[in-house]
Amino acid sequence: MDTLHATTAFAALSQPTRLDVFRLLVQAGKTGLLAGEIGEKLDVRQNTMSANLLVMLNAGLIRKTREGRGIRYFADMPAMADLIGFMLKDCCGGNVDECKPFLEQVACKC
Amino acid sequence: MDTLHATTAFAALSQPTRLDVFRLLVQAGKTGLLAGEIGEKLDVRQNTMSANLLVMLNAGLIRKTREGRGIRYFADMPAMADLIGFMLKDCCGGNVDECKPFLEQVACKC
DNA sequence: TTAATATATCAATAATTCATGATGTATGGA
DNA sequence: TCCATACATCATGAATTATTGATATATTAA
């Protein structure tokens, strides 16, 4: 992870449709979603959705596999973990006490 | 946190100088940094830095307090925790086993 | 092979974002 | 009060990004 990869990823997340797509895929977990399902859920035209999915693919935020006529998309969780790690590297000046309440707030609830 | 706030925050992080600023402030912790110090460390002109700091302020990623002639900036860690929480809401389809390795990767090392 | 379905690509316009020079404002010191 | 320091704002042109209609490609079914 470097600044270029990170800014590209954040740019991909900085557009409402794409952020919605990413959150849907995060919630879908390993099941993922077909491109058509995503477009239908979010009420976005086919070519617009395709362009947005490509932006997210290029940013390394999502992955895809063909499935018959459709293409199934997944959130790339390790990539997201990398991104968060890069952003928060050496956080809080290395002070654990300062950092702890932050970590508790971030922790996943599932 | 909603999609508008989140996309605004990600847009703020999608530009190299601003991402560098945020990471510097994360590392600075509660000490923060003066605007001038930030510009000097990153070799960015005064008005460009001021504009970029304003974008980050408006995005809710950083805070500031006046200190004599200078202005001291800080990363807003609770806001960042909110943002990450919004992005990862109901992650992994609620499946703890699927989620656990992700959490371990994200965990702060300090 | 022909048609239908699912998705991707292309070209073009509209909108947004960026860095910069110039200038304005706030604070502290002489 | 006058000046220097520290930072913010404004206006502008250049570059990037987003959406869309039209079209192309890949897969499956008839």
B87/A23 CB distance under 8 A: yes
The stretch B5-10 carries a mean pLDDT of 96
pLDDT of res. A79: 93
Q: For D4, which residue's CA is nearest its C1'? A: B69
Q: How confident is the model at residue A108 (pLDDT cuts 50, 70, 90)?
A: low
Q: What are phi and psi of A61, to 5 degrees?
A: -85, -25
Estimate the share of chain A in helix, then strand, then coil, as percent rounded to the nearest 5.
65, 15, 20
Token reading at A83: 């991104």
pLDDT of res. B69: 95
Mutant choice from B1, B14, B18, B89 vs A, greatest count of A C-beta within 10 A: B14
Q: What are phi and psi of A10, to 5 degrees?
A: -65, -35
The stretch A5-33 carries a mean pLDDT of 96
CB under 7 Å from strand D: A 11, 14-15, 17, 45, 47-48, 51-52, 55, 66, 68-69; B 34-36, 39, 46-47, 49-51, 53-54, 64, 69-71
All structural domains of chain A: 3-106 (1.10.10.10)
Which nucleotides of chain D are near protein (any atom < 7 Å from a CB)?
4-10, 17-23, 26-28
- CB contacts of A25 in chain B (<8 Å) are none
pLDDT of res. A91: 82
Does residue B64 sit in helix, strand or coil?
A: strand
Q: Which nucleotide has its C1' atom closest to residue B12's CA?
A: C17
Q: What is the pLDDT of residues B25-76, one digit of tens each?
A: 999 999 999 999 999 999 999 999 999 999 999 999 999 999 999 999 999 9
